[in-house]
Amino acid sequence: MANILITGANGQLGTELRNRSFSLLDDVFYTDVEELDITNFKAICAFIETHDIDTIINCAAYTAVDQAEDDEEKAMKLNRDAVANLANAAVKLDCLLVHISTDYVFDGTSDHPYTEKDATNPQSVYGRTKLEGEQAIKKSGCLYVIIRTAWLYSGYGHNFVKTISRLASERDELNVVSDQWGTPTYAGDLAEAIISIMERDDLPELEGVYHFTNEGACTWYDFAKEIVALTGANCKVNPVTTEEYPSKVKRPAYSILDKTKIKETFDLEIRDWREALKSCMATF
């Protein structure tokens, strides 16, 4: 039996966790900023003590990658400082902290899928603040599981799948970057993985950093073509280079994550990204 606090519960991953079943013996408390301000250390500690929380799953983050370049203070507040609060509360009150991080902690120059041992080198405010959040967790001394993911989407909130689906119904053509590689991740599959991990009795012995995405690899152009095909829209998708698509942020050219560690440690089977996409879009 566990008492679980989920922060950022109104976001993509938090909503997918709401839609799935933890153990019947678990009490799960879903919170967003209205219920719990994670930038307030005292509020976190009070919530944990009131509800006898033993596990925190932190889905809260500042994820607006472009906006973070102009609002570094807010990104730091949510991605580093709030995470430090959760970690320090976890130490003080003897909780496990499960934290979601990102492929943006890497620079995207690799020629092989990134493992958990590869050197980090974020190239954006978003990536740097997320890495500093990871570092705050490790520095705190709390018991933790950090899960890095990438290209997250679902039927909720704002994401690439929903945007491309909408644009395909409105336009005859779309231009999409074809020289950035990664792996789309269905938030529903990540939620299932988290719940599976939470069921392990030996979790305290498995502390560390893990990578999770769906299987396979593609470019944003490949991803968009698959989305448009599944919508049935009569919309042509054109490949363009990163240079042709100006952005405030230097996005990783290569952000494929190696999932060997999480699959072997927790005996997980992970779906191919195309299969996961079909499953998600069937719910639209």
Do 207 and 241 meet the contact criterion of CB atoms below 8 Å apart? no
Structure tokens at 251: 């996005």
Report how far residue 272's alpha carbon sits from residue 282's, in angstroms, rounded to the nearest whole number: 16
- Catalytic residue check, 126: yes
Q: Are strands 143-149 and 208-211 parallel, antiparallel or unpaired?
A: parallel
Catalytic residue, from 30, 104, 114, 126: name it.
Answer: 126
Residues assigned a catalytic role: 126
